[in-house]
Structure 1
Amino acid sequence: MHFSHYRGKNFSFLIVLFFYFGFVLYTPSKIFAQNTPVIQSDSAILMDAKTGTILYEKNIHKKQYPASITKIMTALLAIENGNLEDTITFSKNAVYSIEYGSSHIGMQEGEQITLKDALYGMFLMSANEVSNGIAEYIDGSIENFAEHMTKRAEELGAQNTNFVNPHGLHDENHYTTAYDMALIAKEALKYDVFREIIGTITYTIPPTNIVDEPRYLANQHKLFNNKAYPELYYEGCEGGKTGFTNEARHTLVTYAKRDDLELIVVVLKSEKQAMYDDTRNLLDYGFNNFKMVSILQQDLPIGKIPIISEENEQKKYQNIIEAYPETDFSCVLPKNSSSKDIIKKISIPEEIITPIDENQIIGTLDFIFQNKIIGSVNLIAGQSIETFNTFSKSTIENNTNTTTYGNRFFRILIMILSILVILCIVFFVLFLINTYLSKLQY
């Protein structure tokens, strides 16, 4: 964080004044409850979709083959970099470079569909040739797109991921982790079109320039598609993506929401029934044991911070400025906890010197739960303050909330208390002397 007008001397008294709030650049935290489920999959993670808080983990940083859940990253890049109404023309390489017998919807060389239709074909039916077509449309080649995928993953904090294709067919150099996939899945949820796609049970791609018949698609996620798999449907499931190769085994990403809590489950290297059982158990664990709690609202100030004005390199009178959180802040807590269990810690420079711009970052607020920082928010200035010359001395002195008067009152109070303590000691000593002399007379 950059503070352009901070200089430093001890301002410890200021820290004492602030027994309020906190959060900066967010790093996913971990919060656990009792009765954690037993998971069969080799790797698994349960993450809150809004804050990134980790609610369950098992081998979350172990490198695994993702199989077709790779397509979540492909969809993310397509949504971020493409136009849904653009037309994709499928090349020979896109159609014929996939493994024989792997998932496809029968696209032909030279055939054209919109990017929107391609996303549905890729996501609902896990069509590998469609993934290739999207990659070539976005970056010109599958190789360039794969590099783009890996770079974007790194930007999201996925440091143990490397993609070499847009579909997830096996390659020893194509791998990820449960944690990395959860980060990618969390980012994709920011886009309404992605939510629309994962929330679709059936979709029809109309006839094309080559194929006269429509293509009928159906969502393959058994916890979501209550029409095809009513006995497996999970209440609140918003969709997700399945994956399978012999080397990766079964992989699954699932989104589910109940009330204000939205969860992401990723399971890797699982078996077909186990991946659904594990996902269901993790979602039950999340919804039964955790809740979303609102802590801060962006439009409400959290307190007043003293400001130093400077003239000719001399520090002058102090003023105050109201600090606001840069964003709203909510967090996930165990259901038997409350916001009162969160410790709020403010972090600001030792001195904040004018001029200050409105919305300039002037500190951070950290929230601590179970001895861990579970989030942070930047603190910003509620108004602009120019140099010292824009303020009259009388205006500053009339403000009874200034730190100048606060410090003066504090020093006077300490002085009075010190005098009282000394007087008490003197009287006590005199009392002892008088008692001792009285005994000698007898």
Structure 2
Amino acid sequence: MLTFRRLICLLLTLGLLTISAVAEMPNPTLDPNANPYDETHPELLEADQLYCTSAILIEQSTGEVIFEKNADLTMYPASTTKIMTVLLGILNSNPDDKVTVSYNGSAAAMRAIDSEATVISLQEGEELTMQDLLFGTLIRSGNDGAVAIAEAVAGNESTFVALMNQTAHDLGMNSTHFMNPHGLHDDNHYTTARDLATLARYAMQNDTFRTIAKTTEYKMAATNKQRSRTLTTRHRIMLPQYNKTDNRYYYAPMTGIKSGSTSLAGYCYVGSASLNGVDLISVVMYSSQYGVWTDTKKLMAYGFSQYQHVTISELYNLNPISIYTSAYEIDDPNQGQLTLLCQPQDATQAALAELSTTKKRIDYLSENLRDLVTVSYTRDFAAPVSAGEIMGTMTYVSDDGTPITFNLVASRSVARRSNMPLTYEEIVAMTQGQTGIPIVPETVIPVVVILLIPTIALFIIFRVHRRRKRREDFSDGIPRS
């Protein structure tokens, strides 16, 4: 009887262990009714072609949402929490600051909380730099490193967590609440995909964070407790060959940032990628072990498919400015009409004039560019005009408020009509001595004659009319005065 009871207990124990093991390895599957995903047409991505429960994709510079799936659903962030931890470490310390690890920040303390917790093997009393802590925590997801950063910045975990929550509030992450600096599960430690995208976008504006995020291998210096050690990321999506035969999850444009997983959070990844001047941030939450990478690749490929590279000059050329010149030759093929070309004033302006934006934005700019620019002309429109001659300037103000100036130049030459009298503007300029044209009789006499002809004509008409009037008055018997 005792043996039978022991057998029952053993079976129950094994059952519980099996259930626990399954719980630690969530494996979401695709919707069986989803359309097959076509890698050759990433622009056709649909939400049910992702393994994850929640996701979002944004453009980094503007925060524009490109794709989302249950982005406001409350989720557990797991180790993506460390994005906030590392960022606050960067903002509130110096890379060379010396940090002494307490017991709470040691690997032993972390393993006592969770035997499977990822660590960078810190020991109590170990002394190392803040830079090593920051790299180790983000690259290898060291839970011990996260606590060490928290204590170094704020003195203790609780004060640091308060700083985390205040920063989240300041960033508008209104659906986020932190309970620790590492992301080990707590029911009151939660966020959303949208909030994590907001955090990642803010973090990637920091040069140091961007450098750490894109680093796949880092060598920590030797300490008073350990030899130097090299840490390598486990992000399959950032490694050309995670193993010798399998690189199906690698995606070359990736530039970071952080993965995370727990039994209740599933597999999560906050990613960043750059291609052809476009910077994207994706968030995938509660996906499968490998689906987290394919989901991220699908999101990024979709995002890049929505963008085109274009210059302001190319948009301008879709509907260029045309002016009508005066005093042009009678046989001018375009009857004096002159199209103006748009040219950046220098290399700096040319670089600023390059845009990578959505097709929708390009359509808007091409249709409304005339209303979005300021045009100033630097000369009159009288012929002659030489091809390439600057006729004026055009200024476009970018989304970040930077003015971009272009020269408007003549696309062709327009000859002046022979024997054409000077324009009013030319006469004024001559009299003010601003054109450099010498005032000599050969120039002045024709002008004077032209101006006197109407006056002489009026005088003759007046005289003829007056004589006729006198004759009529005399014939009526009215004496002449």
Structure 1 regions of 5+ residues with no counterpart? 1-32, 297-327, 347-366, 368-374, 381-442
Change (3 A) 1:295 1:331: farther
Residue aligning to 2:67: 56
1:226 partner SS: coil
CA distance in 2, matches of 1:227, 1:239: 16
Question: How far does residue 345 in structure 1 lie from its aligned partner after superposition?
Answer: 9.1
What letter matches 1:245 in structure 2?
T
Question: How far does residue 342 in structure 1 lie from its aligned partner after superposition?
Answer: 5.9
Residue aligning to 1:167: 182
CA distance in 1, matches of 2:360, 2:402: 28
Residue aligning to 2:77: 66
Residue aligning to 1:268: 285
Change (3 A) 1:275 1:140: same
Residue aligning to 2:238: 224
Percentage of pairs with the same residue? 35
Asked whether 1:207 is paired with 2:222, we answer yes
Pairwise CA RMSD of aligned residues?
A: 2.7
Larger relative contact order (Cα-Cα within 8 Å, sequence gap ≥ 6) = 1
1:223 partner SS: helix
CA deviation map 1:138-171 (0-9, x unaligned): 1111111111111111111211000111110000
Change (3 A) 1:208 1:247: same
Map residues 298-337 of structure 1 onto 2, 5 A cutoff: 332-334=357-359, 337=362
CA distance in 2, matches of 1:153, 1:331: 30
What letter matches 2:273 in structure 1?
A
Residue 43 of structure 2 contacts residue 302 of structure 2 at CA under 8 Å; is this kept in 1? no
CA deviation map 1:399-436 (0-9, x unaligned): xxxxxxxxxxxxxxxxxxxxxxxxxxxxxxxxxxxxxx
CA distance in 1, matches of 2:240, 2:213: 14
Residue aligning to 1:252: 269
Asked whether 1:134 is paired with 2:149, we answer yes
Residue aligning to 1:187: 202
Question: How far does residue 34 in structure 1 lie from its aligned partner after superposition?
Answer: 6.2
Residue 221 of structure 1 contacts residue 240 of structure 1 at CA under 8 Å; is this kept in 2? no
What letter matches 1:117 in structure 2?
D
What letter matches 1:239 in structure 2?
G
Change (3 A) 1:116 1:282: same
CA deviation map 1:378-399 (0-9, x unaligned): 799xxxxxxxxxxxxxxxxxxx
What letter matches 1:178 in structure 2?
A
TM-score by length of 2: 0.56
Question: How far does residue 340 in structure 1 lie from its aligned partner after superposition?
Answer: 2.3
CA distance in 1, matches of 2:312, 2:400: 11
Asked whether 1:47 is paired with 2:61, we answer no
1:243 partner SS: strand
CA deviation map 1:310-362 (0-9, x unaligned): xxxxxxxxxxxxxxxxxx9978322794322569999xxxxxxxxxxxxxxxx
Change (3 A) 1:345 1:137: farther
Match of 1:123 among 114, 138, 152: 138
CA deviation map 1:241-260 (0-9, x unaligned): 11010110100011110011
| Equivalent residues, number | 289
Residue 48 of structure 1 contacts residue 332 of structure 1 at CA under 8 Å; is this kept in 2? no
CA distance in 1, matches of 2:103, 2:178: 22
Asked whether 1:198 is paired with 2:213, we answer yes
CA deviation map 1:39-63 (0-9, x unaligned): 2210000111111000001111111
What letter matches 2:71 in structure 1?
I
Question: How far does residue 192 in structure 1 lie from its aligned partner after superposition?
Answer: 1.5
Residue aligning to 2:302: 285
1:93 partner SS: coil
Q: Which has the larger radius of gyration?
A: 2
Change (3 A) 1:126 1:172: same
CA distance in 2, matches of 1:217, 1:295: 45
Residue 53 of structure 1 contacts residue 332 of structure 1 at CA under 8 Å; is this kept in 2? no
Question: How far does residue 292 in structure 1 lie from its aligned partner after superposition?
Answer: 6.2
Residue aligning to 1:340: 366
CA distance in 2, matches of 1:292, 1:153: 34
2:189 partner SS: coil
Residue 278 of structure 2 contacts residue 356 of structure 2 at CA under 8 Å; is this kept in 1? no
CA distance in 2, matches of 1:344, 1:267: 41
Residue 57 of structure 2 contacts residue 280 of structure 2 at CA under 8 Å; is this kept in 1? yes
Question: How far does residue 293 in structure 1 lie from its aligned partner after superposition?
Answer: 6.2
Change (3 A) 1:263 1:378: closer
Residue 72 of structure 2 contacts residue 193 of structure 2 at CA under 8 Å; is this kept in 1? yes
Change (3 A) 1:247 1:294: farther
* Greater per-residue helix proportion: 2
Residue 295 of structure 1 contacts residue 331 of structure 1 at CA under 8 Å; is this kept in 2? no
Match of 1:87 among 82, 89, 98: 98
